[in-house]
Amino acid sequence: MNKIDYQALRGAAEAIKIAATPQKLLAFRMKVTPQVVLALLDERDALNERLAELEADLAGLAEDQQKSIESIKQADEAVKLAHEKFSALAAENAALKQSEKEFNDFCREEFSEWEDDITETPATDAFLAEVRAQGVEMAMEHMQSSGSLTFGDCYISLNEFAAQLRKGVPS
């Protein structure tokens, strides 16, 4: 491929545009050789091919983006469902603990020597902690399965958060 002097070509073309004298036409024709025209056409073809490649890449990225958005929506729905179930369990557990407290209060009024014996629920508490942690892990899996995990810090943070939930650290 020839090296094209674009500045010289532009100068010769602009000179003809101002005043098309025979000398300027000859100077222009000397600069615009068949080799220059072929080189320009080759460059245009190469640029068109590159443009087509970039358009295909862009279409692929748009498709990947749609898949990622759908994956995020599914993960969000799963988290919402898990939260609903968790909330129902937590409410049920709180109601059980409250009824036990009310029973103890009643017994204390009726029996002067009544001692409170509040039932601990370590299995329920551990179960709820595991449910929370699994929700976080599901979010991590969805982030990772999207194929374009650019949120490395978020991934690490979510992993640490799941570990804290399992230990029973309040959220």
- Single-letter code of the amino acid located at 62: A
- Answer yes or no: do 44 and 109 share one domain: no
Residue 1 resides in a domain: no
How many Cβ atoms are within 10 Å of 1's Cβ, its own excluded? 9
Cβ-based neighbours of 135, under 8 Å, separated by 6 or more: 78, 79, 82, 83, 86
- Answer yes or no: do 65 and 145 share one domain: yes
pLDDT of residue 91: 84
Domain that holds residue 82: 57-167
pLDDT of residue 16: 86
Helix or strand (DSSP H, E) at 151: none
What are the pLDDT digits (tens) for 40-54? 999 999 999 999 999
What are the pLDDT digits (tens) for 94-114? 888 888 888 877 777 777 676
pLDDT of residue 170: 55
Between the two ends of the chain, the Cα-to-Cα distance in Å is 66
Closest CA to 60 of 153, 161, 148, 151: 148
Domain total in the chain:
2
Q: Collapsing DSSP states into helix, strand and coil, what is residue 120?
A: coil
- Answer yes or no: do 52 and 64 share one domain: no
pLDDT of residue 148: 52
Q: Which residues of the chain have pLDDT under 70?
A: 1-2, 112, 114, 116-117, 142-153, 155, 157, 165, 169-171
pLDDT of residue 60: 92
- Confidence (pTM): 0.43
